[in-house]
Structure 1
Amino acid sequence: MTHATAIFDLSLALEAYGADRLGEAESICRTICAQDPPPVDAMHLLGLIEMAQGRLEAAVETLTAVTKFQPDDATARNNLGIALRKHGRLPEAIAAFENAVACRPTYPNALYNLAVALTDTGNRGSAIEPLRRCLSHAPDHAGARFLLGDLLVDAGDHEEATAHLERYLGENPDDVDGARMRLAQMNRGPVPSRASAAQLDQLYSSKARDWDLADGYLAHRHVSDALARLLPRHGNRILDMGCGTGLVGGLLRDRAAHLAGIDLSGAMLSVARQKSLYDTLVRDDLASFLSATSLRFNAVAAAAVLIHFGDLATILPSVANIMDPGGLFAFTVYPNDKGDRLGFGPCINPELARSGCFSHGSAYIEAIAERSGFKLLEQGEVVHEFSEGHIEMGLLTVLQCR
């Protein structure tokens, strides 16, 4: 293969990689890399392709080889760090990011990635210095701006944290990281009415591949069990709000004459579509869908969906508008009764609040439901999810449309 041919083929591989045609890109790269010695640029791209395919061991091996061929290549060392972090090898990832910064001290992305890896280890305070350095070279780096504000909240420096989070929001009004919730937790801003669509899309797109493997998640079972107990055995028209990968749909399919699913995340819907459970699948923001749909249902399920809405005074009437009289609406939220039974706020669990979650008081839900055209049938605490050493309680509610 001539040098000119290799350059042309590499451009084809880059085009395929950019278009997410990973198999095609890999095949081209492997043909190029069959040369002795293999071109380093093609090896580097092959490592990125392997990482995108989830083949992290192979990506680490390939990118390590690139750094040996080109020890001063900061970009390769940064990408090696990303692969190592994804692989859960945090000490090695931190070393790779530190080496990238040593090669190029003004490299914003390597400084940011170093900070993120340090927070992964639980050593959040040590991430502040690389974030300051990142922002000194790239003041518009949104991820670094938010993370620095977030860390300063934990450090107790609420003045500087507020300044960073407010600047972040001014430059990034879509709030993909949840700055409004962080400000509300400090009482430096109003409690948002909901998590932003951008934050939820990013959050669940990152979780889609492994969502069905989360053994400790139980919300879908509680919601499905409640509806299965109260609905006729067949012939129901069921809406699965925030259907995700189809966990609720799988449990209620045999009771549905028509099963519809709505979700914001294209990645989650892609998994659900492969299961062939739903008669209708829609990608949309929930509020937009409820205001526009002409479909009507005698049952609505929302497992771990309203956790991302603070003020339910808009969403519950919209649900009532698409339901038949006597229809059932079953959902879970995180309880707020240890704080304010009559209200809502950022989730009591701060880690869940960072993920755009709210807590709701039982009396608040009952009052909003009554004003929205529902009557309360059932309400009680359930184990929403659990992990080793921790149980997160939820509040299961079943309403009936009047």
Structure 2
Amino acid sequence: MLLQRDFRPGFGGEVYRRGPGPVESRGGIPWRRCYSPAPSMSTTPAPEAFEQARQRFFEGLEAFKAGRFADAEQAYLASLALVPGRVSTLLNLVATQLRLGRPQDALGRIEQILSVEPDNAEARFHKANAFGQLNRHPEALANYEKVLQLGTLPPGEPWLRHGQTLQALGRPEQALDSYDRALAADPAIAQAWTNRGSILRDMKRSEEAAAAFRRALALGADPELHRYYLAAVSGEQATPPTAPGHYVETLFDDYAHDFDAHLVGQLGYQAHRTLTTHLTGLGRGFRSAVDLGCGTGLCAPYLKPIAEKLVGVDLSSQMLQKAQALGLYGRLVHADIVAYLAQTDEQHDLVTAADVFIYVGDLAPVFDALDKALEPGGIFCFSAESAADENSDFELLPSLRYAHSERYLRGLAARHDLDVVRLVHAPIRDDQREAIAGMFVYLRRPESAR
């Protein structure tokens, strides 16, 4: 929520217009309120100082709009140095610091505002967003509820954020009610339709989910992402060959902080152990291994003892930070797995992909790129979710995961002259208390490929 205001020395009623701030999905709705100067401002600033502060304020506004958030922050700080405590400037500084990913700094400024104006709804809204960035969801929820109680902001956006926080707390039914309230206030909030569709999809209410995704798409939501959603829940869109890259990256960046506990502890994930157990059963060591889609490094403790060199590749920078902390990878690469395989100058004698291909339907580009990266005699092993229809190559499921047929995987191996050393059917994880059937595939490039 970025504030664009008349910057006048009289401190009268000022117009607040929502602009392209970091916590807004839409803008352009005005509202009015009185401005109270901070207690430290017992005297009106000199006209020269006020004019300089005003210039810095609007420089900050323009820098923010242009995406130059560090410049915006410096401009707002300069404005505050000239006219301390001005709430409009503090609020815009807070919005900027949240966009810079510094919620702790923002919280300090927010408390400065609330010490003067405890019922400032904009400050409460930013406070809730800051707690959300810090994954302090109960505190975020309490502040969104305070914003809604104050009733001085248009309610659509606060209800949207309220619902997102309830989702983060694992309360989807209540989140759905919040999204309905957001849409009752403003039916044009595309993100509320998207989030509503996601909850309905998880509830297996596919027709309602598809309707919500269609509404979001009509309102300008990401076309690639929403066609992917619609293909998963209704089949009315052609099945895309892969999940959108930005979807996967954002999903795992957001998921990184509790990924291991949720996946292994709550979903009973075991693909990393199953894949590496059968790999060590081959009874050989490896010169150079690459862990595709390495995530937080769940496979690393099992791969490091059998590989002289271990490289990890992932699309999520947040996941790579977690993997780096393990100290088991010689090198970590932030890249798409196909791009890495196609562009690397290295040849590996072990390539692994544990629970990666649930986000890749068409595996032909992976196998094509592997031709260059896997040395003769090398092993390529991976897991895949099992498709219900063995006559299909791959399916996009309502869970947004891809499943593959054994026939398809064996066909790809044959076309690329890879021998099937082992293929094991075993569960990958649990989903809503049901074991998800999977395959663990071990392929070898013949020595004669030299």
TM-score (norm 1): 0.73
Shift of the 88–323 alpha-carbon distance from structure 1 to 2, 3 Å rule, reads same
Q: How does 1:270-281 map to 2 (within 5 A)?
A: 270-281=321-332
Shift of the 292–146 alpha-carbon distance from structure 1 to 2, 3 Å rule, reads same
Aligned pair partner of 1:92 in 124, 136, 142: 142
> Once the 2 structures are TM-superposed, how far is the Cα of residue 261 of structure 1 from its aligned partner?
1.9
- 1:377 corresponds to which residue? 421
- 2:403 corresponds to which residue? 359
Shift of the 186–313 alpha-carbon distance from structure 1 to 2, 3 Å rule, reads same
Partners of 1:211 and 1:152 lie apart in 2 by 23
Q: Secondary structure at the match of 1:321?
A: helix
Partners of 2:113 and 2:428 lie apart in 1 by 45
Alignment deviations for residues 158-210 of structure 1 (CA, whole Å, 9 cap, x no partner): 77435324336x652453xx541333321210111111110111111112233
Q: How does 1:108-127 map to 2 (within 5 A)?
A: 108-117=156-165, 119=167, 120-123=170-173, 125-127=176-178
Partners of 1:130 and 1:155 lie apart in 2 by 21
Structure 2 residue 389 is the aligned partner of structure 1 residue 340: yes
Are the equivalent residues in 1 in contact too, given 2:179–2:192 (CA < 8 A)? no
Q: How does 1:96-107 map to 2 (within 5 A)?
A: 96=146, 98-99=148-149, 102-105=151-154
Partners of 1:77 and 1:157 lie apart in 2 by 33
Q: Secondary structure at the match of 1:230?
A: coil
Structure 2 residue 129 is the aligned partner of structure 1 residue 78: no
Structure 2 residue 282 is the aligned partner of structure 1 residue 230: yes
- 1:244 corresponds to which residue? 295
Are the equivalent residues in 1 in contact too, given 2:91–2:123 (CA < 8 A)? no
Alignment deviations for residues 280-302 of structure 1 (CA, whole Å, 9 cap, x no partner): 32211112222222221111111
> Once the 2 structures are TM-superposed, how far is the Cα of residue 257 of structure 1 from its aligned partner?
2.8
Alignment-mate amino acid for residue 354 of structure 2: A
Partners of 1:262 and 1:110 lie apart in 2 by 38
Shift of the 96–364 alpha-carbon distance from structure 1 to 2, 3 Å rule, reads farther
Are the equivalent residues in 2 in contact too, given 1:320–1:401 (CA < 8 A)? no
Shift of the 303–151 alpha-carbon distance from structure 1 to 2, 3 Å rule, reads closer
Q: Secondary structure at the match of 2:281?
A: helix
Shift of the 148–240 alpha-carbon distance from structure 1 to 2, 3 Å rule, reads same
Q: How does 1:3-402 map to 2 (within 5 A)?
A: 69-82=116-129, 86-89=135-138, 92=142, 95-96=145-146, 98-99=148-149, 102-105=151-154, 108-117=156-165, 119=167, 120-123=170-173, 125-133=176-184, 135-136=186-187, 139=188, 142-150=190-198, 154=205, 156-157=207-208, 160-161=211-212, 163-167=214-218, 171-173=221-223, 175=225, 179-214=227-262, 215-216=264-265, 217-230=269-282, 232-233=284-285, 235-336=286-387, 339-343=388-392, 344-347=394-397, 350=398, 352-353=399-400, 357-386=401-430, 391-402=435-446
Deviates more, 1:211-220 or 1:190-199: 211-220
Are the equivalent residues in 2 in contact too, given 1:98–1:114 (CA < 8 A)? no
Q: Secondary structure at the match of 1:95?
A: helix
TM-score (norm 2): 0.66
Alignment-mate amino acid for residue 299 of structure 1: L
Alignment deviations for residues 44-63 of structure 1 (CA, whole Å, 9 cap, x no partner): 979998996788xx96x996
Q: Over the residues paired in the alignment, what is the CA RMSD in angstroms?
A: 4.5
Q: Secondary structure at the match of 2:421?
A: strand
Alignment-mate amino acid for residue 190 of structure 1: A
> Once the 2 structures are TM-superposed, how far is the Cα of residue 236 of structure 1 from its aligned partner?
1.9
Deviates more, 1:218-227 or 1:117-126: 117-126
Are the equivalent residues in 2 in contact too, given 1:334–1:393 (CA < 8 A)? yes
What runs of 5+ residues in structure 1 fail to find an aligned partner?
20-27
Alignment-mate amino acid for residue 153 of structure 2: R
Greater RCO, CA 8 A, separation 6+: 1
Partners of 1:110 and 1:377 lie apart in 2 by 55
Q: Secondary structure at the match of 1:190?
A: coil
Are the equivalent residues in 2 in contact too, given 1:152–1:160 (CA < 8 A)? no
Q: Secondary structure at the match of 1:247?
A: coil
Are the equivalent residues in 1 in contact too, given 2:386–2:405 (CA < 8 A)? yes
- 2:12 corresponds to which residue? none
Q: Which has the larger radius of gyration?
A: 2
> Once the 2 structures are TM-superposed, how far is the Cα of residue 391 of structure 1 from its aligned partner?
4.4
Shift of the 193–173 alpha-carbon distance from structure 1 to 2, 3 Å rule, reads same
Q: Secondary structure at the match of 1:328?
A: strand
Q: Secondary structure at the match of 2:439?
A: strand
Partners of 2:419 and 2:144 lie apart in 1 by 54
Deviates more, 1:386-395 or 1:109-118: 386-395
> Once the 2 structures are TM-superposed, how far is the Cα of residue 379 of structure 1 from its aligned partner?
2.1
Shift of the 321–47 alpha-carbon distance from structure 1 to 2, 3 Å rule, reads closer
Partners of 1:229 and 1:261 lie apart in 2 by 22
Deviates more, 1:150-159 or 1:370-379: 150-159
Alignment-mate amino acid for residue 366 of structure 1: R
Alignment length, in residue pairs? 374
What runs of 5+ residues in structure 2 fail to find an aligned partner?
1-39, 58-62, 64-68, 71-76
Alignment deviations for residues 308-363 of structure 1 (CA, whole Å, 9 cap, x no partner): 10122222232233212332111112222xx212322123xx4x42xxx2122223
Q: Secondary structure at the match of 1:103?
A: coil
Alignment-mate amino acid for residue 157 of structure 2: N
